[in-house]
């Protein structure tokens, strides 16, 4: 089984390099997610100043267990990196069928 959470971000030009480092496959988010069992990886896609991330987990249960264990760390990192985007939205969370 596979579970993917998709986010979209608009990134100001001056924050592009820092955003790519923080949100890329080896970035701050991937390092935090790697503390949870069942984390597969992060993919980062770009179209101009619009980015998509795909956060891949083995299952929704694995992601929920991560959130239960590391939710405070998740919130702190989100607050720390919020200035790198002008907007962000969760598109959805998808399970493989």
pLDDT digits (tens, 9 = 90+) for 36-86: 999 999 999 999 999 999 999 999 999 999 999 999 999 999 999 999 999
CA 63 to chain centre: 12
Report pTM. Answer: 0.94
| Residues forming beta bridges with residue 92, ordered by sequence position | 6
Q: d(Cα 2, Cα 22) in Å, to the nearest integer?
A: 24
Whether 62 is covered by a domain: the verdict is yes
Burial of 88 (0-12, 13-18, 19+ CB in 10 A): middle
Q: Residue 58 is part of a domain; what is its CATH number?
A: 3.30.70.100
**Residue 19 located in a structural domain:** yes
Beta-strand ranges (E) seen in the chain are 3-10, 39-47, 50-57, 87-95
Please count the structural domains in the chain: 1
Q: Is residue 95 part of a domain?
A: no
Is residue 97 a part of any domain in this protein? Answer: no
Domain span holding position 76:
3-85
């Amino acid at each position: 089984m596979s579970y993917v959470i998709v986010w979209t971000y608009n990134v100001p030009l001056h924050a592009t390099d820092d955003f790519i480092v923080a949100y890329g496959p080896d970035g701050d988010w991937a390092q935090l997610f790697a503390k949870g069992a069942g984390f597969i990886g992060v993919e980062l896609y770009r179209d101009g100043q619009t980015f998509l991330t795909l956060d891949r987990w083995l299952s929704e249960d694995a992601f929920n267990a991560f959130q239960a264990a590391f939710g405070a760390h998740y919130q702190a990192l989100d607050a720390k990196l919020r200035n790198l985007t002008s907007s962000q939205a969760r598109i959805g969370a998808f399970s493989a069928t």
